[in-house]
A = this chain, B = another copy of it.
Amino acid sequence: MTIQQLKYVVALDEERHFARAAEVCMVTQPGLTIQLKNLEEEIGIKIFDRNKVPLTPTVLGKEIINRARKILRETDEIRDFVINQKNLLEGELKLGIISTLSPYLIPLFISAMKTIAPKVNFVIKEANTGQLMQDVETGAIDVAIMATPTGHPNLVEHAIFKEPFVAYLNENHPMANDDFYELQPYDKPELLLLQNEYCYNAQLLDICGIKEPGKIKEQFSYDISSIETLKNLVRAKLGFAIIPALSIINEKETALFKTFKDPKPVREISFVVSDTFSKKLLLEKMSQAVWDCLPEALKKDFSYKKIKWNDSPYFINAVSKI
């Protein structure tokens, strides 16, 4: 069965005449006759009764013609769908992004998008994970870039990359001269966390295998609201921090940023959209833009351990290769 044969069947039903149907299909009559014959032999039934004038579909033939029509419509819809998607590559897109990623990714992302889809205007909002999920659901933003899986049933996640965590030690740390960092029991009470970043903190607690956040170092009297602040606290020898890899790509002095031994703890970064989001080609282009602007090290395969930040039943904690 070929799509062409289905076209012949439908044309023949409309024209009720071999020669005219062939003309409509821009082929000659014997070509159409033979292909109809081939199809009829393949499915094992006569679709048209040639004894009647004008020729008439058989009872079963009518059913097959209807099904053929549907299939042809659907093949056309594939084409139309792609064309429509291309039209959606202009206009405005409201993008939310978690604050522990935003300062490092957004500048690179925006310049990559300028090349890939120059007619799209981005309105960017920085917020925490909970806020972003809510905003996506209400439609306040179109797309969020955040750590996943969310476990939220109405949101669709498109994973883009795995961002490893790195440890930032101060120069007095016992492992300050090692190549890799491995979690030490004495580091746990020193772990610095962020204010108002439940998701991020939960990931760190998971890395450190800490169940009860109460045991960790008390927060300071002011809000630690950014990764940059964390770094400065480490530099002031006030603790030890675990930070995402993209936050060190602009650092000059890299000696005290230690990657973990394999499997490295990572957070999965994804585009999160509502399940009714329709700009799929734009999403694809954005995914491309993020991938293009990533440092090479993050594009390569590596052994990783995906870190969880919630206890959703949808979440599966996995050790695998990208």
Contacts and interface: CB of A to CB of B under 8 A. Distances in A.
B43 A67 contact: no
B44 A63 contact: no
A282 to B, nearest CB: 9
B64 A78 contact: yes
A297 interface: no
Contacts of A62: 280
A317 interface: no
B71 A85 contact: no
A51 to B, nearest CB: 8
Interface in A59-112: 59-60, 62-64, 67-68, 70-71, 74-75, 77-79, 81-83, 85-86
A53 interface: yes
A82 B283 contact: no
Interface in A281-304: 281, 283-284, 287, 291, 301
Each complex incorporates copies of this chain amounting to 2
Nearest to A273: B59
A26 interface: no
A77 B67 contact: yes
A93 to B, nearest CB: 14
Contact of A82 (B44, B74, B82): B44
Given A3-B3, A44-B82, A64-B78, 20 more contacts: A1-B75, A1-B78, A1-B79, A2-B2, A44-B83, A45-B82, A45-B85, A45-B281, A59-B158, A59-B280, A60-B82, A60-B85, A60-B281, A60-B284, A63-B81, A64-B81, A67-B77, A68-B78, A71-B71, A71-B74
